Amino acid sequence: MSSMPESRTIPGLIDELVCRFPSRPALVGCGRRFTYVELRNETRRVAKGLWALGVRKGDKVAILMGNRPEWIIADLAITALGAVMVGINTWATKRELEYQLRHSDTNVLIMVDQFLKQDYLAMLGEIIQDEARLPLLGHVVCLSDQAQPGLKSLAELVGAGVTVPDATIAAAGAEVAPQDVAYILYTSGSTSAPKGVQLQHYALIENMWQIGERMHVTENDRLWLAVSLFWGLGCENALFNLLTHGGCVVLQEHFEPGEALRMIDKERCTVFYGTPNMVSALIEHPQRALHDLSSLRTSGTIGTPEQIERASELGAREICNIYGLTETYGNCCVTDAHDSLAARLTTVGRPLAGVRIRIVDPTTQVPLESGETGEIRVRGYVTCGYYKDDARTHEAFDDDGWFKTGDLGFLDSEGRLHFRGRLKEMVKTGGINVAPVEVEEILRTHPAVAAAFVVGVPDATRDEVLAAVVVRRPGADATEKVLEAHCRSALAAYKVPRLFRFVEEDELPLTVTGKLQKNRLPELFSKTVARRSSGTPA
């Protein structure tokens, strides 16, 4: 076990790391390499430039780019001044970009001109034609190699800060308090505007160090990171997990499986952060056998037991199952890398140090006993509130101060948390509540089933019926009748799916960060439901 850093602010942490690991590799990406000393020096250059632009404590500075070293350098420079880093979704539409910049009160935007299919300059140009739409946005810094009218280049930003003394930046860092807000990260809002989750300096250090301890991370570890940095899994969990342990972060600007295999092999990466679709793409890539992935040791991921086991097969034998939300500093429960494989496949582990978990009946609010499924509530490392949204902040906590996750789960006799799905995913069929995850687990025990996802679809007589989306194993040929009989052998009749839909894995609707969009699965049954409602045989 390593010792937790003494610093409780991000600028203090970087100074401490330079003292402990000055010449160790800290950051690799886009053909560039930085030791901890070089990373701090580059961070100071950008911090001086931001200071010259007028950025001060509490100001909001947004970052919009892929996983480049400049993302992390800008992040550390912003927080070194006591300013607040606003992570912008690289897949944002023009409307979403405008909302996040306006809502966050962003003063400075650091961006690339284009990324993948997104033309940010064109988007921004349309938005700022009317100055009233982003009245607080005073400066835009663009990493483009070509000069852009009205925008500063990164070189110009750095040049503007040449006359700013080191002592000025050191003094600004010394004024940062552990409880100060370091980040605003926006959650994806499917039915309403995204919420700006505020995250504080001290918890980004303490909680992430605890995550690394569960993974047994040391200064010798090297993280392969293609998970988007704007996402909490990237800039909260993965980044500060490695930084608090003095490890090295190896960035892939955007996920491409062939390049990922090459990077993991060449850089001898030991830690893998990824989603199930990334794992599948790596395993199925035709060049996988040409690359040596034996350096991989541990991983942080989510998914079904089968999906997590696939990541283990990729090489991350000490894979860790994780649970949390952006509001709970990403992970609040993590399995230990040395737990049994069964525990790591079927549970999300015990709460991290400094975190408390309570399971309550979502209707009566009464705390439940071990083994009873209810809503997961969290205390400890939890957001201090949503930015400029007191009403939603108030709604997010119960009367005793516990954060309401909206997730279902139970604690077993050993204190490990078992995730059972979203509270909103609970299906009420014929007046009886059914947790889809229970049915999914039974379906996955059939040898022909590679993955199964159960949702509720409207029904004229039962309100909802259970519907199963199934991915079959290669070469398997399970029919609807076979799987229905399999479920009936293990489940009460009301828990047996009435509808089945067989799909290929690449047909599943995913978010840009690789998560399953379970709320879209009922669309796969809309025609079937319509035919049944009209009396036409399905």
Task: Give the pLDDT band of residue 536 (cuts 50, 70, 90).
Answer: very low
pLDDT tens digits, residue range 482-512? 999 999 998 878 899 999 999 998 888 887 6
Q: Which CATH architecture has domain 426-533?
A: 2-Layer Sandwich (3.30)
Closest by CA to 352, choosing from 369, 335, 337, is: 335
CA distances from 323 to 113, 300, 483 (A): 35, 10, 30
Spatial neighbors of 65 by CB under 8 A, at least 6 apart, are 71, 90, 110, 111, 112, 115, 143
Closest by CA to 70, choosing from 110, 98, 10, 103, is: 110
Instruction: State the pLDDT at residue 248.
Output: 98
Task: Give the pLDDT band of residue 313 (cuts 50, 70, 90).
Answer: confident
Residue 533 has pLDDT above 80, yes or no: no
Instruction: Yes or no: say if 392 and 195 are a contact pair by the CB < 8 Å rule.
Output: yes
Instruction: State the pLDDT at residue 190.
Output: 44
Bridge partners of 275, per DSSP, are: none
Report, as an integer, the average pLDDT of 301-322: 87
Residue 537 has pLDDT above 60, yes or no: no
Where along the chain do the CATH 2.30.38.10 domains lie? 318-423
In whole angstroms, give the CA distance from residue 226 to residue 234: 8
**In the block, residue with structure tokens 């401490």:** 16
In whole angstroms, give the CA distance from residue 90 to residue 118: 8
In whole angstroms, give the CA distance from residue 353 to residue 333: 9
- State the helix-helix crossing angle for 36-52 and 69-80, rounded to 10 degrees: 60
Instruction: State the pLDDT at residue 158.
Output: 97
Instruction: Yes or no: say if 252 and 226 are a contact pair by the CB < 8 Å rule.
Output: yes
Instruction: State the pLDDT at residue 126.
Output: 93
Closest by CA to 471, choosing from 458, 457, 454, is: 454
Residue 530 has pLDDT above 70, yes or no: no
In whole angstroms, give the CA distance from residue 96 to residue 359: 35
pLDDT tens digits, residue range 196-223? 999 999 999 999 999 999 999 999 999 9
Where along the chain do the CATH 3.40.50.980 domains lie? 22-200
Spatial neighbors of 286 by CB under 8 A, at least 6 apart, are none
Report, as an integer, the average pLDDT of 5-24: 98
Q: How many CB atoms lie within 10 A of CB 427?
A: 23
Instruction: Yes or no: say if 436 and 466 are a contact pair by the CB < 8 Å rule.
Output: yes
Q: Which CATH architecture has domain 22-200?
A: 3-Layer(aba) Sandwich (3.40)
In whole angstroms, give the CA distance from residue 136 to residue 45: 24
Residue 460 has pLDDT above 90, yes or no: no
Instruction: State the pLDDT at residue 538.
Output: 34
* Token code pair at residue 160: 């503007």
Report, as an integer, the average pLDDT of 72-81: 98
SS3 351: strand
- Please give the mean pLDDT across all residues of the chain: 92
Backbone phi, then psi, for 23, in 5-degree steps? -105, 5
Instruction: State the pLDDT at residue 188.
Output: 66
Where along the chain do the CATH 3.30.300.30 domains lie? 426-533
With vertex at residue 256, the alpha carbon angle to CA 519 and CA 228, rounded to the nearest 5 degrees, is: 55
CATH 3.40.50.2000 for domain 318-423, yes or no, is: no
In whole angstroms, give the CA distance from residue 276 to residue 514: 7
Report, as an integer, the average pLDDT of 252-261: 97
SS3 258: helix
